[in-house]
Protein backbone atom coordinates (compact mmCIF):
# COMPACT_ATOMS: atom_id res chain seq x y z
CA UNK A 1 0.00 0.00 0.00
CA UNK A 2 1.40 3.45 -0.95
CA UNK A 3 -0.05 6.80 0.05
CA UNK A 4 0.82 10.16 -1.48
CA UNK A 5 -0.40 13.71 -1.05
CA UNK A 6 -0.44 16.72 -3.39
CA UNK A 7 -1.97 20.20 -3.45
CA UNK A 8 -3.78 22.26 -6.07
CA UNK A 9 -1.96 24.94 -8.03
CA UNK A 10 -3.06 28.22 -9.55
CA UNK A 11 -1.45 29.30 -12.81
CA UNK A 12 0.24 32.69 -12.99
CA UNK A 13 0.78 32.14 -16.73
CA UNK A 14 -2.14 30.06 -17.95
CA UNK A 15 -2.15 26.77 -19.82
CA UNK A 16 -4.87 26.83 -22.48
CA UNK A 17 -4.60 24.60 -25.51
CA UNK A 18 -2.81 21.39 -26.35
CA UNK A 19 -0.28 20.55 -29.03
CA UNK A 20 -1.11 16.84 -28.58
CA UNK A 21 -4.38 15.67 -27.01
CA UNK A 22 -3.22 12.08 -26.49
CA UNK A 23 0.17 12.80 -24.91
CA UNK A 24 -1.29 15.87 -23.14
CA UNK A 25 1.37 18.21 -24.46
CA UNK A 26 0.62 21.91 -24.00
CA UNK A 27 0.84 24.36 -26.89
CA UNK A 28 2.90 26.74 -24.72
CA UNK A 29 4.70 26.76 -21.35
CA UNK A 30 2.89 27.84 -18.18
CA UNK A 31 3.89 28.94 -14.68
CA UNK A 32 2.02 28.27 -11.42
CA UNK A 33 2.08 28.45 -7.65
CA UNK A 34 1.42 25.21 -5.76
CA UNK A 35 -0.75 26.04 -2.73
CA UNK A 36 -0.63 24.85 0.88
CA UNK A 37 -4.40 24.28 1.22
CA UNK A 38 -6.94 21.65 0.10
CA UNK A 39 -4.65 18.63 -0.45
CA UNK A 40 -5.65 15.36 -2.09
CA UNK A 41 -4.47 12.20 -0.34
CA UNK A 42 -4.39 9.06 -2.48
CA UNK A 43 -3.64 5.45 -1.56
CA UNK A 44 -2.82 2.82 -4.19
CA UNK A 45 -2.93 -0.88 -3.33
CA UNK A 46 -2.06 -3.79 -5.63
CA UNK A 47 -5.13 -5.83 -6.50
CA UNK A 48 -3.55 -8.86 -8.25
CA UNK A 49 -6.82 -10.72 -8.84
CA UNK A 50 -8.85 -7.72 -10.08
CA UNK A 51 -9.81 -7.47 -13.76
CA UNK A 52 -9.94 -3.66 -13.66
CA UNK A 53 -8.60 -0.82 -11.57
CA UNK A 54 -11.04 0.50 -9.00
CA UNK A 55 -11.37 4.10 -7.81
CA UNK A 56 -13.01 5.26 -4.59
CA UNK A 57 -13.30 9.04 -4.67
CA UNK A 58 -14.24 10.86 -1.47
CA UNK A 59 -15.69 7.65 -0.05
CA UNK A 60 -17.77 6.74 -3.09
CA UNK A 61 -17.31 4.47 -6.10
CA UNK A 62 -16.16 6.83 -8.87
CA UNK A 63 -18.04 7.35 -12.13
CA UNK A 64 -17.02 5.44 -15.26
CA UNK A 65 -15.66 8.68 -16.71
CA UNK A 66 -13.43 9.38 -13.69
CA UNK A 67 -12.27 5.76 -13.55
CA UNK A 68 -11.34 5.61 -17.22
CA UNK A 69 -9.22 8.77 -16.91
CA UNK A 70 -7.37 7.14 -14.02
CA UNK A 71 -7.00 3.86 -15.94
CA UNK A 72 -5.38 5.66 -18.86
CA UNK A 73 -2.65 7.06 -16.60
CA UNK A 74 -2.19 3.77 -14.77
CA UNK A 75 -1.80 1.97 -18.13
CA UNK A 76 1.07 4.32 -19.01
CA UNK A 77 2.68 3.72 -15.60
CA UNK A 78 2.23 -0.07 -15.85
CA UNK A 79 3.78 -0.15 -19.32
CA UNK A 80 6.84 1.68 -17.99
CA UNK A 81 7.02 -0.45 -14.83
CA UNK A 82 6.62 -3.72 -16.73
CA UNK A 83 3.79 -4.67 -14.39
CA UNK A 84 0.27 -5.87 -15.13
CA UNK A 85 -1.57 -6.00 -11.78
CA UNK A 86 -4.49 -3.65 -11.34
CA UNK A 87 -4.79 -1.20 -8.43
CA UNK A 88 -7.34 -0.21 -5.87
CA UNK A 89 -7.11 3.59 -5.62
CA UNK A 90 -8.65 5.49 -2.73
CA UNK A 91 -8.56 9.26 -3.10
CA UNK A 92 -9.83 11.99 -0.78
CA UNK A 93 -9.91 15.73 -1.41
CA UNK A 94 -9.85 18.15 1.47
CA UNK A 95 -11.34 20.97 -0.59
CA UNK A 96 -14.89 21.61 0.53
CA UNK A 97 -17.42 21.06 -2.25
CA UNK A 98 -17.80 24.26 -4.21
CA UNK A 99 -14.50 25.69 -2.97
CA UNK A 100 -13.76 26.46 -6.58
CA UNK A 101 -10.43 24.67 -6.44
CA UNK A 102 -10.12 22.04 -9.18
CA UNK A 103 -8.97 18.74 -7.73
CA UNK A 104 -7.69 17.16 -10.94
CA UNK A 105 -4.23 18.72 -10.56
CA UNK A 106 -3.68 17.58 -6.97
CA UNK A 107 -5.46 14.30 -7.73
CA UNK A 108 -3.31 13.18 -10.65
CA UNK A 109 -0.10 14.39 -8.98
CA UNK A 110 -0.88 12.28 -5.89
CA UNK A 111 -1.99 9.35 -8.08
CA UNK A 112 1.24 9.36 -10.10
CA UNK A 113 3.36 9.22 -6.93
CA UNK A 114 1.21 6.62 -5.12
CA UNK A 115 1.02 4.34 -8.18
CA UNK A 116 4.69 4.52 -9.20
CA UNK A 117 5.65 3.78 -5.58
CA UNK A 118 3.24 0.86 -5.38
CA UNK A 119 4.72 -0.63 -8.56
CA UNK A 120 8.22 -0.26 -7.13
CA UNK A 121 9.39 2.30 -9.71
CA UNK A 122 12.15 4.72 -8.90
CA UNK A 123 11.16 7.93 -10.69
CA UNK A 124 12.70 11.36 -10.36
CA UNK A 125 10.57 14.50 -9.96
CA UNK A 126 10.72 15.41 -13.65
CA UNK A 127 9.47 12.01 -14.66
CA UNK A 128 6.75 12.04 -12.02
CA UNK A 129 5.64 15.37 -13.47
CA UNK A 130 5.49 13.83 -16.99
CA UNK A 131 3.35 10.98 -15.71
CA UNK A 132 0.98 13.29 -13.78
CA UNK A 133 0.62 15.33 -16.99
CA UNK A 134 -0.97 12.31 -18.72
CA UNK A 135 -3.92 12.54 -16.30
CA UNK A 136 -4.38 16.31 -16.39
CA UNK A 137 -2.03 18.87 -17.86
CA UNK A 138 -2.04 21.08 -14.79
CA UNK A 139 -1.18 18.06 -12.58
CA UNK A 140 2.37 18.20 -13.97
CA UNK A 141 2.77 21.40 -11.93
CA UNK A 142 1.26 20.07 -8.66
CA UNK A 143 4.15 17.59 -8.41
CA UNK A 144 6.40 20.62 -7.83
CA UNK A 145 6.79 22.79 -4.70
CA UNK A 146 6.29 26.55 -4.88
CA UNK A 147 6.50 28.19 -8.29
CA UNK A 148 6.64 25.71 -11.20
CA UNK A 149 7.48 26.19 -14.86
CA UNK A 150 5.84 23.55 -17.08
CA UNK A 151 7.74 23.21 -20.33
CA UNK A 152 6.07 22.72 -23.69
CA UNK A 153 7.75 20.41 -26.20
CA UNK A 154 7.97 16.66 -26.74
CA UNK A 155 6.82 13.99 -24.28
CA UNK A 156 10.37 13.90 -22.92
CA UNK A 157 10.70 17.69 -22.70
CA UNK A 158 7.28 18.46 -21.23
CA UNK A 159 7.59 18.38 -17.44
CA UNK A 160 7.43 20.99 -14.69
CA UNK A 161 10.29 22.15 -12.51
CA UNK A 162 10.63 24.52 -9.59
CA UNK A 163 11.93 28.02 -10.34
CA UNK A 164 13.22 30.61 -7.87
CA UNK A 165 10.57 33.13 -6.81
CA UNK A 166 9.81 35.54 -3.96
CA UNK A 167 7.25 34.64 -1.25
CA UNK A 168 3.71 34.86 -2.67
CA UNK A 169 0.22 34.57 -1.22
CA UNK A 170 -3.15 33.98 -2.80
CA UNK A 171 -6.63 34.88 -1.60
CA UNK A 172 -9.24 32.80 -3.38
CA UNK A 173 -12.65 34.41 -3.67
CA UNK A 174 -15.45 31.92 -4.22
CA UNK A 175 -18.50 33.51 -5.77
CA UNK A 176 -22.01 32.33 -5.35
CA UNK A 177 -22.96 31.93 -8.96
CA UNK A 178 -24.88 29.07 -10.46
CA UNK A 179 -22.83 28.22 -13.51
CA UNK A 180 -23.12 25.67 -16.28
CA UNK A 181 -19.72 24.10 -16.46
CA UNK A 182 -17.95 23.44 -19.73
CA UNK A 183 -14.84 21.48 -18.85
CA UNK A 184 -11.45 22.99 -19.57
CA UNK A 185 -10.64 20.04 -21.78
CA UNK A 186 -13.67 20.55 -24.04
CA UNK A 187 -13.33 24.31 -24.06
CA UNK A 188 -9.64 24.11 -25.04
CA UNK A 189 -10.57 22.08 -28.11
CA UNK A 190 -13.32 24.52 -29.13
CA UNK A 191 -10.96 27.46 -28.66
CA UNK A 192 -8.18 25.93 -30.74
CA UNK A 193 -10.62 24.99 -33.51
CA UNK A 194 -12.56 28.25 -33.73
CA UNK A 195 -10.80 31.30 -32.26
CA UNK A 196 -8.95 33.50 -34.74
CA UNK A 197 -6.83 34.65 -31.79
CA UNK A 198 -5.48 31.21 -30.90
CA UNK A 199 -2.11 31.55 -32.64
CA UNK A 200 -1.58 34.95 -31.06
CA UNK A 201 -2.40 33.49 -27.67
CA UNK A 202 0.14 30.69 -28.03
CA UNK A 203 2.82 33.09 -29.18
CA UNK A 204 2.14 35.65 -26.46
CA UNK A 205 2.04 32.93 -23.79
CA UNK A 206 5.55 31.83 -24.79
CA UNK A 207 6.68 35.41 -24.30
CA UNK A 208 4.78 35.94 -21.04
CA UNK A 209 6.17 32.69 -19.59
CA UNK A 210 9.75 33.75 -20.37
CA UNK A 211 9.10 37.17 -18.84
CA UNK A 212 7.52 35.57 -15.77
CA UNK A 213 10.58 33.39 -15.18
CA UNK A 214 12.74 36.54 -15.26
CA UNK A 215 10.37 38.48 -12.97
CA UNK A 216 10.31 35.60 -10.47
CA UNK A 217 14.10 35.33 -10.52
CA UNK A 218 14.38 39.08 -9.91
CA UNK A 219 11.77 38.98 -7.13
CA UNK A 220 9.88 41.70 -9.00
CA UNK A 221 6.45 41.46 -7.37
CA UNK A 222 4.89 44.16 -9.50
CA UNK A 223 5.91 42.51 -12.76
CA UNK A 224 4.87 39.05 -11.49
CA UNK A 225 1.45 40.49 -10.67
CA UNK A 226 1.05 42.41 -13.93
CA UNK A 227 1.92 39.32 -15.99
CA UNK A 228 -0.42 37.16 -13.90
CA UNK A 229 -3.41 39.42 -14.51
CA UNK A 230 -2.48 39.93 -18.17
CA UNK A 231 -2.30 36.18 -18.82
CA UNK A 232 -5.71 35.65 -17.19
CA UNK A 233 -7.32 38.47 -19.17
CA UNK A 234 -5.81 37.25 -22.44
CA UNK A 235 -6.96 33.70 -21.73
CA UNK A 236 -10.53 34.79 -21.01
CA UNK A 237 -10.57 37.09 -24.05
CA UNK A 238 -9.41 34.12 -26.13
CA UNK A 239 -12.05 31.81 -24.68
CA UNK A 240 -14.80 34.39 -25.25
CA UNK A 241 -13.66 34.68 -28.87
CA UNK A 242 -14.50 31.01 -29.55
CA UNK A 243 -17.51 30.04 -31.62
CA UNK A 244 -19.85 29.43 -29.90
CA UNK A 245 -18.45 31.85 -27.28
CA UNK A 246 -17.62 30.41 -23.87
CA UNK A 247 -18.10 32.62 -20.83
CA UNK A 248 -16.53 31.71 -17.51
CA UNK A 249 -16.42 35.14 -15.87
CA UNK A 250 -19.58 36.77 -14.51
CA UNK A 251 -20.35 40.27 -13.30
CA UNK A 252 -19.43 39.08 -9.80
CA UNK A 253 -16.02 37.98 -11.12
CA UNK A 254 -15.38 41.39 -12.66
CA UNK A 255 -16.10 43.05 -9.31
CA UNK A 256 -13.14 41.13 -7.85
CA UNK A 257 -10.91 42.21 -10.76
CA UNK A 258 -12.09 45.77 -10.02
CA UNK A 259 -11.22 45.37 -6.34
CA UNK A 260 -7.66 44.45 -7.35
CA UNK A 261 -7.44 47.61 -9.45
CA UNK A 262 -8.83 49.72 -6.60
CA UNK A 263 -6.34 48.28 -4.11
CA UNK A 264 -3.48 48.88 -6.54
CA UNK A 265 -4.71 52.46 -6.73
CA UNK A 266 -3.93 52.87 -3.04
CA UNK A 267 -0.51 51.29 -3.42
CA UNK A 268 -1.12 47.62 -2.58
CA UNK A 269 0.34 44.83 -4.74
CA UNK A 270 -2.86 42.94 -5.56
CA UNK A 271 -3.54 41.25 -8.90
CA UNK A 272 -6.44 39.08 -10.05
CA UNK A 273 -6.58 35.81 -11.96
CA UNK A 274 -9.32 33.29 -12.79
CA UNK A 275 -9.54 29.79 -14.26
CA UNK A 276 -12.31 27.95 -16.10
CA UNK A 277 -15.10 29.22 -13.86
CA UNK A 278 -16.40 32.40 -12.23
CA UNK A 279 -14.22 32.34 -9.09
CA UNK A 280 -11.32 34.77 -8.83
CA UNK A 281 -7.98 34.41 -7.04
CA UNK A 282 -6.06 37.46 -5.82
CA UNK A 283 -2.27 37.29 -5.90
CA UNK A 284 -0.44 39.38 -3.32
CA UNK A 285 2.49 39.58 -0.91
CA UNK A 286 2.17 37.30 2.15
CA UNK A 287 2.20 40.28 4.52
CA UNK A 288 -0.81 41.78 2.72
CA UNK A 289 -2.91 38.60 2.50
CA UNK A 290 -5.03 39.18 5.62
CA UNK A 291 -5.82 42.75 4.60
CA UNK A 292 -6.69 41.71 1.04
CA UNK A 293 -8.92 38.93 2.41
CA UNK A 294 -10.79 41.47 4.58
CA UNK A 295 -11.46 43.64 1.52
CA UNK A 296 -12.62 40.65 -0.55
CA UNK A 297 -14.92 39.20 2.12
CA UNK A 298 -17.81 41.36 0.99
CA UNK A 299 -17.62 39.86 -2.50
CA UNK A 300 -17.35 36.13 -1.77
CA UNK A 301 -16.04 33.43 0.50
CA UNK A 302 -12.30 33.86 1.00
CA UNK A 303 -9.43 31.44 1.70
CA UNK A 304 -5.80 32.45 2.16
CA UNK A 305 -3.05 30.25 0.73
CA UNK A 306 0.73 30.35 0.49
CA UNK A 307 3.36 28.36 -1.40
CA UNK A 308 2.93 24.66 -0.67
CA UNK A 309 4.84 21.44 -1.15
CA UNK A 310 4.89 19.30 -4.25
CA UNK A 311 3.73 15.68 -4.17
CA UNK A 312 5.14 13.63 -1.29
CA UNK A 313 4.72 10.20 0.26
CA UNK A 314 2.76 9.89 3.49
CA UNK A 315 4.03 7.37 6.01
CA UNK A 316 1.62 4.55 6.75
CA UNK A 317 0.67 4.02 10.37
CA UNK A 318 1.97 0.66 11.69
CA UNK A 319 -0.78 -1.92 11.54
C1 LIG B 1 -4.25 26.43 -15.87
N2 LIG B 1 -6.47 25.55 -16.46
O3 LIG B 1 -3.16 26.79 -16.35
C4 LIG B 1 -5.45 26.50 -16.78
C5 LIG B 1 -6.11 27.84 -16.68
C6 LIG B 1 -7.77 26.16 -16.35
C7 LIG B 1 -7.58 27.57 -16.71
O8 LIG B 1 -5.10 23.83 -16.47
O9 LIG B 1 -7.37 18.79 -20.21
O10 LIG B 1 -7.68 20.27 -15.92
O11 LIG B 1 -6.78 17.84 -17.98
O12 LIG B 1 -5.07 19.05 -19.32
O13 LIG B 1 -5.27 20.71 -16.54
C14 LIG B 1 -7.32 23.26 -16.28
O15 LIG B 1 -7.09 22.32 -17.23
O16 LIG B 1 -6.97 20.28 -18.35
C17 LIG B 1 -6.23 24.24 -16.41
P18 LIG B 1 -6.52 18.92 -19.01
P19 LIG B 1 -6.70 20.81 -16.91
O20 LIG B 1 -4.36 26.10 -14.67
Full set of structural domains in the chain with CATH: 2-165 (3.30.230.10), 169-306 (3.30.70.890)
Mean of pLDDT values over 75-85: 98
pLDDT at 318 > cutoff 60: no
Place 81 in a pLDDT band, splitting at 50, 70 and 90. Answer: very high
Least confident range of 97-106, 268-277, 290-299 = 97-106
Ligand 1 pocket, Cβ-based, cut-off 6 angstroms: 11, 14-16, 24, 30, 102, 104, 136-138, 184-185, 275-276
Check residue 96 and give its pLDDT. 74
**Whole-number percent of the chain with pLDDT over 90:** 94
The span from the CA of 132 to the CA of 140, in Å, is: 5
- Say how many Å lie between the CA of residue 117 and the centre of ligand 1: 25
pLDDT at 241 > cutoff 90: yes
Burial pattern 206-223, b for ≥16 Cβ within 10 A else e, equals eebbebbbebbeeebbee
Place 101 in a pLDDT band, splitting at 50, 70 and 90. Answer: confident
Test site for ligand 1: of 7, 13, 15, 147, most ligand atoms within 8 A of the Cβ: 15
Mean of pLDDT values over 53-59: 97
pLDDT per residue as tens digits for the range 258-277: 999 999 999 999 999 999 99
The answer to whether the CB of 11 falls within 8 A of the CB of 36 is no
Phi and psi, residue 92, nearest 5°: -130, 130
Least confident range of 56-65, 123-132, 159-168, 178-187 = 178-187
Check residue 181 and give its pLDDT. 80
Test site for ligand 1: of 25, 32, 137, most ligand atoms within 8 A of the Cβ: 137
- Say how many Å lie between the CA of residue 254 and the centre of ligand 1: 21
pLDDT at 95 > cutoff 90: no
pLDDT at 282 > cutoff 60: yes
Q: How far apart are the first and last CA of the chain?
A: 12
pLDDT at 100 > cutoff 80: no
Place 177 in a pLDDT band, splitting at 50, 70 and 90. Answer: low
Check residue 165 and give its pLDDT. 98
The answer to whether the CB of 75 falls within 8 A of the CB of 114 is no
The span from the CA of 168 to the CA of 148, in Å, is: 13
Residue closest via CA to ligand 1's atom 17 equals 138
Ligand 1 atom with least separation from CA of 9: 20
The answer to whether the CB of 109 falls within 8 A of the CB of 8 is no
- Say how many Å lie between the CA of residue 24 and the centre of ligand 1: 11
Q: What is the mean pLDDT of the chain?
A: 96
Least confident range of 96-105, 125-134, 178-187, 299-308 = 96-105
Least confident range of 12-26, 108-122, 175-189, 225-239 = 175-189
Mean of pLDDT values over 164-193: 91
Amino acid sequence: MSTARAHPNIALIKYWGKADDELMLPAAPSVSLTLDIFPTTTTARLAPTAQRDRLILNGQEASEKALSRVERVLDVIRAQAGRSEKLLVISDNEAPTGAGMASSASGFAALALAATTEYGMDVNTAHLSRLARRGSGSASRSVISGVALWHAGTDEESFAEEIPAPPLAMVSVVLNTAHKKITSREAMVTTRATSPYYRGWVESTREMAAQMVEACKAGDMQRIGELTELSALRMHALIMSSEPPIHYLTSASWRVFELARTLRGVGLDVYATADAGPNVVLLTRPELAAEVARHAEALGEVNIAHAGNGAYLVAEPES
